[in-house]
Amino acid sequence: MTSPLSELAGLPRPKDDELDLFGLTHQGLVRTGNEDHFLLCTVHPQVIVRATSLPAVDHITLRGERLATIMLVADGVGGSADGSEASRLATIAVTEYFASAMHCYHTVGSASEHEFTAALRDAALGAHHRVRTQSEAQFDGQRMATTLSVAIVVWPWLYVVQVGDSRCYTYHDGVLRQVTRDQTIAQELIDRGALSPERAQYSPLHHVLSSAIGADEALPVISRVDVGKRGTVILVCSDGLTKHVTDEEISQAIGRMTSAEQLCHALLDLALERGGSDNVTIVVGRALP
């Protein structure tokens, strides 16, 4: 197969100072703790952390051309043994995988599409295995679980790794697109025609996960989207945002955005105004037009 990069050869890769990146997390107004974690980093021959909720993560000296940008959100499952620990472990596991497997990026110019997406799937399953192993050791087998949504930009492509119901969106020329599909029981019923999208919003199955990192089953789904047009906005978020803010409102907020930071705060403020019933995590990135 042809290289995923060679298919759109000739498009200029944005420089580091042309990237507008920001992420934040908030415990909301109801929960007593925050079980979400996020990571925003650029990948060179080494990983450079730009923002994260993880404690004690050192910045690493820039070496060489940027190979990829990673935007990650992990939402610990409430009611599991330790959702916060699950999301932390999943974030670290995926980050360490990319840090220790940089050959995937170094060789992306010659790697096949299958090889690259297989590496992404392995990263998600590796995180699943680590969370399962830790829960067995720490909680006598009681499950802890987390969602995991990772957006990886290897210019000009966006690869998305999805487990659970945290979402990834793209926005360009006034059009918002949900790249991910919620891995919930309600969504499965919608897909079968047994439940309408309107009724699903009020169903008790709306937030019951059918797949999660650390749960009985983790089913990573890999998507690829062309984001080679400057100004395309990528947004990754936990369901603490989408419980309160509609896709139309997200689209309108992006249309008015002045920066990634401003957009994150505007969406967070809206979710909090609506009650902030869950932890809210938002990560935004774009190549400036």
Q: Which two tokens stand for residue 66?
A: 């940027």
Could you tell me which residue, 59 or 18, shows the higher pLDDT? 18
191 in helix, strand or coil?
Answer: helix
168 with 234: CB under 8 angstroms?
yes
pLDDT of 9 above 50: no
Domain range summary for the chain, segments of one domain joined by +: 6-287
CATH number of 6-287: 3.60.40.10
What digits encode the pLDDT tens for the residues 43-55?
877 677 888 888 7
Give the relative orientation of helices 260-273 and 247-255 as an angle to the nearest 10 degrees.
Answer: 140
Helices (H), the chain: 83-100, 103-106, 113-138, 185-191, 197-200, 239-242, 247-255, 260-273
Report which of 225, 218, 217, 267 is spatially closest to residue 244, judged by C-alpha positions: 267
275 with 260: CB under 8 angstroms?
no
pLDDT of 6 above 80: no
Give the bridge partners for 163, in sequence order. Answer: 148
Q: What is the pTM of this model?
A: 0.89
Mean pLDDT of 207-220: 91
Report which of 130, 143, 125 is spatially closest to residue 221, judged by C-alpha positions: 125
pLDDT of 5 above 70: no
pLDDT of 267 above 90: yes
Could you tell me which residue, 58 or 90, shows the higher pLDDT? 90
Give the relative orientation of helices 83-100 and 113-138 as an angle to the nearest 10 degrees.
Answer: 140
DSSP 110: T
Pairing type for strands 167-172 and 68-75 reads unpaired
209 with 77: CB under 8 angstroms?
yes
279 with 35: CB under 8 angstroms?
yes
Give the bridge partners for 42, in sequence order. Answer: 48, 69
